[in-house]
Each structure stands twice: as C-alpha cells, then as structure tokens.
Structure 1
C-alpha cells in the first residue's frame, strides 16, 4: 500500500507524523511511505524519509497514485483522488475559535476553494466528543467522524516522556531548574489577509526578561501560517522554536504554557502543566474576527489576562496558578482530553487499515 502524508504544507509533524512513526513500528506491515515536503522544513524529516516537493507536479503524481492519503489540514492543491484511495483527514486541533464555514470573516473565494478538498475526504478524526459536531458542521462533512483522540499526543504519555523532555531541553540549551515558558499565540485573520506585517508580537518580551531573569526562558512558537514572520528578529532571552519540527516535543520541554485562543491549550492540558492566557484582544477576536464555539470564560483552564504585566506576575509563581485553577483544569481535561490515553495512534491505524482491507 502506498501512503502519502501531508502536514502543514510540507512539514514532518503532527498527527500524520505520529501515524507514520506508529505504522513503521508495527510488525507485518510493509508499506510505501511518501511525504509532501517543503524545502524550508527539510531539516525536520528523517534522513531515510521519501519526499516529494510540496506543490509540484511530483506531489500531484504522488497523490494520484496513493492508496491512502493522510493529511492534517486542507490540501489546497489541484489533484484527482483515485477511485480506490482513502483520504484520512486528521485535522489539527480542538476548535475553540470558529473554523471554515463558521468563521465571521474570510477572503472571497477562499472557502469555496477549500471545499474542493473537503469533498475528497473519506474519514475525519475528532479529538473528543465536544469537537465532533463542530467539525462536522463547520466542514459540512457528511462522512464518518471518528472520535479517537489525537495520535500526536501519544508521546506526551509515553513511558519515555521524561527522557524525551530532558533531550529536547538539552537541544534547546535550557538548563535544569530553569522555568521554560512556551508562548504559542494563534494567528489573526486581519493581520494575515490585510496589508502590512502578517504577525505582531504583542507580548512584552523585555518585561519578561527583566523581571523573571535567568530563571525563566521564553520559547516562542508562532502558528504555522505566520511562522516566518519574526525570522531573524533580535529577541534577547527568547528561543524561537517556530521551526522546531514537532510541537509535542515543546509541550514536554515546557513547564507552563502561555497562549490565547489557540488549540494548543487542549493538547498541552494532557501534560497536566499550568496554562496562562494572554488575551489582550479578546472582545475583538471573539466579536469581529472569529467568534468562539465555547464560552471561553467558562471553560478556560487558567487565568485570562489582558496585559503582559499580569502574565509575568502569574509566571512568577505558577504554583499559585496551579492551586487556584486546579478544579477548572480538571474539568477542562475531562471535557477535552478524555480520549488521550497514549493509544490514539493504534486506534486510528486499526481504523484505516481495516478500511483499506475491506
């Protein structure tokens, strides 16, 4: 069986990576694995990975000769799915913010174009019961939606998670005892589709560095759509991990997450580590840009803070955050992480391999 993988327009990451790695460890399964790869992210692929350049005629030929296509987002390419092939759409997060046909704002023609890809899907994964009706409705997807949890989160509960954490921190130059803060904001539609910079850093990095000192380090992870926005920028005291191959490694390396409306909060919660929200534009984002599926104030697993000063103060003693929001955090996990048991990859492989064998 020929399997073609796609993640975030050419990266070796996310659910497709987790499924690829899980399948390679299964005995008695011999398959041809091909990845759509972007040259900018070539460093993230294993040396022995078979790749074709994303967005090229070679990529189209690979897709049109596949038995199974695994993607975590829209494949916005011109190709014809073979009649015998199965297209598994894993998607890439529990949606807090509205997506696809439910968004409040989108450039003309964009959603119509992406609907062509949705029409090719055969199976759609859902990370939890709360997401299933939202994903089905947003994509107008009539096919089967399988609640499996996310394969990419299996590593967070793996027996070697502690060793992996130590290895990643060493690679990033983060010493033992240093508080690693993962700052992972989402993108803004008006910035991205408007004129000017695609992303603006609205967190006061200098305040973070001056007040928390060498005892804390900020790991900056931008959304994949704007990951190059700050490339080459001088940000003292910041480790730019926007191009790190897999964010799951960063969840392990981090001691606390700072985010806004990103779906990273739902995955990070699998670790049980504190979450702090920097929501400086909450009303604008909720009321003008996207809108939310959930009552954010009700479900948030940590404090909703509007200023950098408040965020830094919370980071000064995250044990206080942990204690104050413990019950809310537990409720958040129960609602959104109930399928994350370290075996999601096996469930999905059983599903798709069974589909192929019918």
Structure 2
C-alpha cells in the first residue's frame, strides 16, 4: 500500500504527522511518502521519504496512491484514480466562517476549492460542535468522523513534558520564564488585497518588553498565509516561531496563549493553561470581514481585550484571569475538547485503515460518534 501525506502545502506537521508516525509504527512495510515544500524541507526528520510539493514526482505520487492524507486543500493539477481513498483531516475547530459560509471570497476561489472537496472520501471533525458546520460549509457528502484531532493527542500524553522541555531548550527559554504564545489569525482583506501589504502587529512590543521584562518571552506564530509578509522590528523582544514545524509542540512549550479568532484557542484549551484574547477589530471581523458561527464573547474561556495595554495587564495577573474565567473555561473544554482524550489517532486509524493495521473498530469515547451522514 502507498500512503501519501500532505500538510499545509508541504510541511511536516499537524494531523497527518500524528497519523503518519503511528501508521509507520504499526505498518512499517507499507510505502509512506510526504509532499515537502523546499522552504520547509528542513522540518522533516531524517528518514522520512519526500517528494517536492507540486512537482511532477508529487503528482505521480498522488495519482498512484492507495491513500491520500491531507489537512488542507490540495489545489494541484492531479487526477485521483479509482480506488484511492482520500482522508481530509482538516486543521481546526471553526469559530470564523469557512468555505461557502464566508461573507466574501475572490471570484472563482470557492469553485476551484470545490473541485478539491469532491475528491475527499472521509473528513474528520474535532468535536460535536463542528460536525454539521464542516459538512454544510464544504458541501461534503462523504463520511464524516467525529473523532477528535490526532495532533492533540500529545497534549494529553505523558510525553508532553518531554516535548515541552525539548522545545523550550531549542528556543532558548530559560527555566522560570513565562512563554507567551501569540497566534493572530489572517485577515481576508490583507491576504487578498491587490497590493499585498505587510502583516503588522497591533501588540505593542515595547510595552511588552518594558513591563514584563526578562520574565516573559513572546513566541510569535502568525498564520502561514501571511508569514512571509511579517515585519518584526529589529531588536524586538520576540521569538518568531511562524515557521516552527508544528504548532502542537509550541502548545506544549507555552504557558499562556494570546489569540484573536484563531482555531488555536480550541487546541490550546486541551492544556488547561490560560487564554487571553486580543480582539481589537472584533466588530469588523465578525460583522463585515468574515463572520462567526457563534458568539465568542459568550463562550470565551478568557478575557476579550481591546488594547495592547490591557493584554499586558492580563499577562501581569494570570492568576486573576484563571480565577475569573474558571467556569467558562470548563464549559469551553466540555463543548470543544470532549474528544481530546489522547486517543484520537487510534480512533482514526482503526476506522480508516483497519485493513492496514489489523485493528478492530473500537467504540468512541462517551459523547463521540464516528459517522455523520
């Protein structure tokens, strides 16, 4: 059997990585092949077989695969052969509207992406709140599996402590330093603008450095769609981790998350660590630019803050943030993390690849489902 993996156009990360590592362990005699973009080739461990993303070899691999596993659209000129099984894992719980539910998209974009959706056989849902939203947004008629996300299994595993120590050492984060992971999402009007402006931060880095000092470090992870247009001032107190191979490992390393409308909030909540929201453009993003599936203010497990100064204030008193949002955090985890028990990878493999691994189809955890038609 040949299995071809793709993540975000040629990276080694996310749900495909978690599935790959377990499938290689269970079925090492099968052929496992990754698409790898040249810019991210260094993120692949030694021994992982790759083909350049978008190359003739990549197209040949996809067209000869028995299984294709991807966490994102594959907008390449390839023709899926009869018998190939395409597992689309996707990559996040949607707060912001996606695909056909968005308020606006460039002409022809959704039609082109629909051609990709038509090749999917299976789609994963991370939780019950996302299942029907994913089906209707994509217009997906195949099998939809409510399993949790394989990439998050690490966050419920004893191995998290080891990964945390390794990543903090790699990034030079000293013992006792509070690692603040900042994950602002992309804005449609910036990404699709004709002049492609730089992505600029609204967080006041000078104020962050002045008031938080050496006890804190800002790990900046901007979205891959704008990472190449990030303009970080020279000497800023920032570690740019936008191209760090897997955000999952950064979740393990971080002590607190700052985000806005990014799906990273749902994954980070598995850790139980504080979440602070910097929602300086909330009304515009919610009402004009993209739209939400639910009211963030009603369910957020942390404060929604309008100014950079307020964000720094919150970081200075995380005990208060935790105490004042304890009940909201518990409800948020119940709604969006109810399947994140450390066994999502097993559930996906036992459901999609039983003939490959000899596994039986186990029961889902309480509250979970496999097929939603």
TM-score range relative to shorter protein: over 0.9
**Is the 2:147–2:347 contact (alpha carbons within 8 Å) kept by the matching residues of 1?**
yes
Matched, 1:216 2:219: no
Match of 1:237 in 2: 237
- Aligned equivalents of 1:300, 1:269: Cα separation in 2: 11
Q: Secondary structure at the match of 1:169?
A: helix
Question: 1:135-154, CA deviations, whole angstroms, 9 ceiling, x for partnerless residues?
Answer: 00100001111000000001
Mapping of residues 230-269 of structure 1, within 5 Å: 230=230, 233-269=233-269
User: 1:85-124 counterparts in 2 under 5 A?
Assistant: 85-124=84-123
C-alpha distance after superposition, 1:35-75 (max 9, x if no partner): 11101111100111111111121111110000000000100
CA-CA distance at 1:168 after TM superposition: 0.7
Q: 1:306 to 1:24 in 2, by over 3 A?
A: same
Distance 2:263 2:98 in 1: 12
| Superimposed CA distance per residue, residues 85-115 of structure 1 (whole angstroms, 9 cap, x where no aligned partner) | 1000000000000000000011000110000
2:309 — aligned with what?
Answer: 309
Equivalent residue number for residue 339 of structure 2:
339
Taking structure 1 as reference, are residues 216 and 76 closer, same or farther at Cα in structure 2, changes over 3 Å only?
A: same
> Counterparts of 1:164 and 1:338 in 2: how far apart (Å)?
23
Q: Sort the Cα spacing of 1:357 and 1:119 in 2 relative to 1 into closer, same or farther, 3 A.
A: farther
Superposition deviation, residue 206 in structure 1: 1.1
Q: Give the length in aligned residue pairs.
A: 357
Q: Which residue of 2 aligns with 1:80?
A: 79
Q: Does 1:65 align with 2:64?
A: yes
With 38-47 and 198-207 compared, the bigger mean Cα shift is at 198-207
Take 1:276 and 1:91, find their aligned partners in 2: how far apart are those partners? 25
CA RMSD of aligned residues (A): 1.4
Using the TM superposition, give the Cα deviation of residue 196 of structure 1 relative to its aligned residue in structure 2, in angstroms.
3.5
TM-score by length of 2: 0.93
Helix, strand or coil: the match of 1:276? strand
Q: Is the 8 A contact 1:4 1:69 kept in 2?
A: yes
Report the Cα offset of residue 230 of structure 1.
2.0
Q: Identify the residue that residue 165 of structure 2 maps to in structure 1.
A: 166
For 2:68 and 2:233, locate their aligned partners in 1 and report how far apart those are by CA, in whole Å. 37
SS of equivalent to 1:137: helix
Contact 2:34–2:48, Cα closer than 8 Å, also in 1: yes
Query: Which whole-Å CA distance do the structure 2 matches of 1:356 and 1:278 have between them?
Result: 45
CA contact (8 A) 2:24 2:32 kept: no
- Can you give the 5+ residue segments of structure 2 that lack an aligned partner in the other structure? 359-373
1:36 aligns with 2:35: yes
C-alpha offsets along residues 237-272 of structure 1, whole Å, 9 cap, x if unaligned?
Answer: 100000110101100110000000000000000000
**Alignment partners' CA distance in 2, 1:302 and 1:209:** 22
